[in-house]
Copies of this chain bind each other. A is one copy, B any other.
Amino acid sequence: MHFKKPQIVFSDKLPDLKLFKGGKGGSAALLIHDRILLNRVPNFGDWAKKFPASYAVEAGEELKDLASYSKHLEKILTLANQFSPRELSIVVAGGGSVGDFGGFTASILKRGVNLIQIPTTWLAAIDSAHGGKTALNVAGVKNQIGTYYPASQVFLVRAALFAQTSAQAQDAAGELAKIALIEGGSKWLKLATASEQEGRLLWRFLPDAIAAKYRIVQKDPFEKKNIRQFLNLGHTLGHILEAYHGFSHGSAVAQGLLFSVEWSRKKKLLKASSHIKILNLLNQTFQFTPLTEIKGFSKIPKKDFMELLLSDKKRHSTSEISFVFLKDYGKPLLKNTPALEILAEARAQGWVET
């Protein structure tokens, strides 16, 4: 199988339906969107009305629950059946959970229909809308099922992204920092001198961040070659904070990055000068607060930590995890690491009860 990079379109406004690829452009397009966009994004309601069919959902992990998926799909099928499967496009407007839900649906509906993504959160615009991974949750465990199904087009819409709060923009910094650490190069260090507001900063770095992600994805789209897994930097530990403490994805990944950098230095994978450069980026530019300095943070009980760690999809065997270290700025390194070793380090760094 090969991976076809989507057409990436940057635009100021919600796109004209004529721009959609597929059998009949917008005239056979089914919009699946986060209901909140009707209130948040100017003119979203008028734009949604141009679609011959649309389906509004509540964003969040519950949307991705397989147990309730059947009811959604029955309704979506009723809407979809007015079109020929060959002509149908599913257009997904929303953040990560809506993108996963809509992308998975497009990938299995009639064994796959044309998919167009319009990420409306910074996190989705930088990361999750790209690379073709879709997923649902099973019995409360995240992303247990899913597909590789790249969109044919991804629209980055300034008006939608700038309608987010500044906290949401801040949250995207976790994924932006991840891409910077994986890709390296001087351009990310310029972030340090950027005095713009967060949204404008993200919008300016968005084309670079997206291009960097596709460079990695295209080398290993189906995660067979231990390359795409570099994108998991900060995620193994981050997911645990997300699940146990309800951290937002971006802030959890930020903590995961700090953890991985610290551990890489301890293991002497990372030399001192690179360590300082990276810490500057994470602490000064991105202003990530160390986990143990976050108000109200309580250490995770060992049992919960291990359970979450071992449910990770990146598990290499019964007791080992593919963990992403850094051997330099721009040089990630994948190592199969015993879960118990990760536990010991998590205790050392104050994540887990001793």
Identify the A interface with B (CB < 8 A): 1-2, 66-67, 69-70, 73-74, 77, 81-87, 107-112, 133, 135, 138-139, 141, 144-148, 222-223, 311, 313, 315-318
Contacts A/B (CB < 8 Å), 13 sampled: A66-B69, A66-B70, A69-B70, A73-B138, A73-B145, A77-B139, A83-B318, A84-B318, A85-B313, A110-B313, A111-B133, A111-B135, A111-B145
- Check B313 against A107 for contact (C-beta < 8 Å): no
Name the residue in A74, A81, A82, A108 with the highest tally of chain B Cβ atoms < 10 Å from its Cβ: A108
> Cα distance A241–B57 when bound, in Å?
37
- Check A148 against B111 for contact (C-beta < 8 Å): yes
**Count of this chain's copies in the oligomeric assembly:** 2
- Check B108 against A146 for contact (C-beta < 8 Å): yes
- Taking CB atoms, residues of chain B closer than 8 Å to A70 are 66-67, 69-70, 138
> Cα distance A82–B110 when bound, in Å?
32
- Check B77 against A112 for contact (C-beta < 8 Å): no
- Taking CB atoms, residues of chain B closer than 8 Å to A81 are 311
Taking A66-B70, A77-B144 as given, write out 6 further A-B residue pairs in contact, using a Cβ cutoff of 8 Å, ordered by the A residue number.
A1-B2, A66-B69, A84-B318, A87-B317, A110-B146, A111-B146
- Taking CB atoms, residues of chain B closer than 8 Å to A139 are 74, 77
- Taking CB atoms, residues of chain B closer than 8 Å to A133 are 111
- Check B138 against A74 for contact (C-beta < 8 Å): yes
Q: Which of B2, B111, B145 contacts A110 (CB 8 A)?
A: B145
In the complex, which residue of chain B has the Cβ closest to the Cβ of A65? Answer: B70
Q: Which of B111, B141, B316 contacts A86 (CB 8 A)?
A: B316
Question: Nearest Cβ distance between residue A63 and chain B, in whole angstroms?
Answer: 14
- Taking CB atoms, residues of chain B closer than 8 Å to A135 are 111
- Taking CB atoms, residues of chain B closer than 8 Å to A107 are 147
Q: Which 4 A-B pairs have the closest CB atoms?
A: A108-B145, A67-B70, A1-B1, A66-B70
